[in-house]
Structure formats: structure tokens, C-alpha cells
């Protein structure tokens, strides 16, 4: 399909921060995503105590679900407001500390220790900072990345994955000439070429 009309579109970090400030967060699902429930077995593949990564996490309630199942959750999000709302919405006590490797970044961590949320751009992360993951929940992440940054995003995600990790990706299918996005339309052929 022709994604010509979206390929040059760019949202700045400031525009995302402003969405949070204005409450323009129609992407947030209070009830969580039914596709995670549906494909949970694929993500876990019989394993327990996994490290699960949430790129561009917002305040996704699925982070709480997986933590409650005994997994350890790591997220990254540019909006500090989103992360504070996550902990507040779930009444979770947390502490915060700077991330020495990334100037200006903060890590907000639940007191129980199993949810660590980095407040910075995903492009600031590397496996030497956050380690590698057994599973990834990518909903509202690849489709929110600026189209020009997809290759960089996918390459980074691959470096953050353990050998046997599973990656659940949610995309949306629609005519990219009718909506400007985000969420952007990512054709299946592009997903295949990005992730191999």
C-alpha cells in the first residue's frame, strides 16, 4: 500500500508531552488490551518470572497485570506525567533516581521493585543500561514512532531481546491517505523487512 502521505510526518517529544498535559490520550485503554489477554500464552510460552519490556509505555495498565503475575516490567516513556499517573492510578508507592548513563533521565521504580519505568527517549536506552528482555509488548509503540525512525527503533528493539524472547506487536490497518496518524499504518511487508 501507499504510505506516502505519512512517511514524512514527524511528532516531536514536545508534542507528545503536550498531549499528556492536555489529556489528549485517546490511545490509553483503561481496561487494558484484549489482545494481550488473547495472546498471553504466546508471550509467556510457559515461562515464569520473565523480564518484559514496554517500549513507549504511556501508563499502560498491562504493566500492572504482568507485574501482578510475577514478571518484572521495564518501560520507557518521555512523559514524566504519564509515569506518575501510572503509579498514582494503581496506588503503587515508588521511588525515583537519576540514571547516571543518561543525562536528564529518571528511573521511577515501584517500591516492590518489579516495575521500573525510565523517563527518557527510547533512543537513549541500550542493553548495557536496561539489560535484555524475555518478552516485549509493543502496542502503540512501533505505530507511534515517526515513520522515518522505524529502522532505528526496530534495530534497537532487536538488541534488547534475549535469544528466546517473544515479541507481541499490535498494529492498525487502515487507509493511510485518510488519516494522518499516529497511530501510523505500518504495512506487514515493512514489519517483515524491519524485524526479519
Interface stretch with ligand SAH, choices 36-44, 78-86, 89-97, 154-162 (CB under 6 A): 78-86
Q: Which CB sits closer to ligand SAH, 76 or 186?
A: 76
Only one residue has cell 497511530, namely: 183
For ligand SAH, the binding residue among 50, 105, 108, 122 (CB under 6 A) is 122
Q: Are 159 and 128 in contact (CB under 8 A)?
A: no
Sign of CA dihedral 54, 170, 35, 33: positive
Question: Does residue number 125 form part of the binding site for ligand SAH (CB under 6 A)?
Answer: no
Beta-sheet pairing, 115-119 with 94-98 = unpaired
Q: What share of residues in the chain are helix, strand, coil (percent, to 5)? A: 35, 20, 45
Map the footprint of ligand SAH across residues 126-185, applying CB under 6 A.
139-141, 144
Closer residue to ligand SAH in complex, CB, 103/189: 103
- Would you say 19 is a known binding-site residue? yes
Q: Which of 3, 5, 27, 194 binds ligand SAH (CB under 6 A)?
A: 27
Q: Which of 16, 53, 184, 185 binds ligand SAH (CB under 6 A)?
A: 16
In this structure, are residues 77 and 58 in contact, taking their beta carbons and an 8 Å threshold?
A: yes
Question: Taking CB under 6 A as the rule, does residue 53 contact ligand SAH?
Answer: no
Q: φ and ψ at 118, to 5 degrees?
A: -90, 130
Q: Which listed residue (66, 67, 71, 79) binds ligand SAH by CB under 6 A? A: 79
139 annotated as a binding-site residue: yes
The C-alpha atoms of residue 13 and residue 83 are separated, in whole angstroms, by: 15
Rounded Cα gap, residues 39 and 45, in angstroms: 10
Which residues are near ligand SAH by CB under 6 A? Answer: 16, 27-28, 56-58, 60, 76-79, 82, 121-123, 139-141, 144
Amino acid at each position: 500500500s501507499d504510505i506516502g502521505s505519512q512517511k514524512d510526518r514527524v511528532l516531536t517529544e514536545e508534542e507528545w508531552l503536550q498531549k499528556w498535559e492536555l489529556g489528549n490520550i485517546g490511545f490509553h485503554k483503561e481496561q487494558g488490551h484484549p489482545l494481550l489477554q488473547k495472546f498471553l500464552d504466546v508471550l509467556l510460552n510457559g515461562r515464569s518470572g520473565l523480564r518484559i519490556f514496554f517500549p513507549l509505555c504511556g501508563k499502560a495498565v498491562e504493566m500492572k497485570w504482568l507485574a501482578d503475575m510475577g514478571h518484572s516490567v521495564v518501560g520507557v516513556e518521555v512523559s514524566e506525567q504519564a509515569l506518575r499517573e501510572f503509579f498514582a492510578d494503581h496506588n503503587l508507592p515508588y521511588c525515583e533516581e537519576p540514571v547516571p548513563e543518561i543525562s536528564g533521565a529518571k528511573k521511577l521504580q515501584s517500591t516492590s521493585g518489579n516495575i521500573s519505568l525510565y523517563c527518557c527517549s527510547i533512543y537513549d536506552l541500550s542493553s548495557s543500561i536496561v539489560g535484555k528482555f524475555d518478552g516485549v509488548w509493543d502496542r502503540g509503540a512501533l505505530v507511534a514512532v515517526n515513520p522515518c525512525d522505524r529502522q532505528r527503533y526496530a534495530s534497537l528493539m532487536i538488541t534488547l531481546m534475549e535469544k528466546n524472547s517473544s515479541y507481541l506487536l499490535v498494529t492498525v490497518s487502515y487507509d493511510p491517505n485518510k488519516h494522518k496518524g499516529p497511530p501510523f499504518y505500518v504495512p506487514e511487508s515493512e514489519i517483515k523487512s524491519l524485524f526479519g
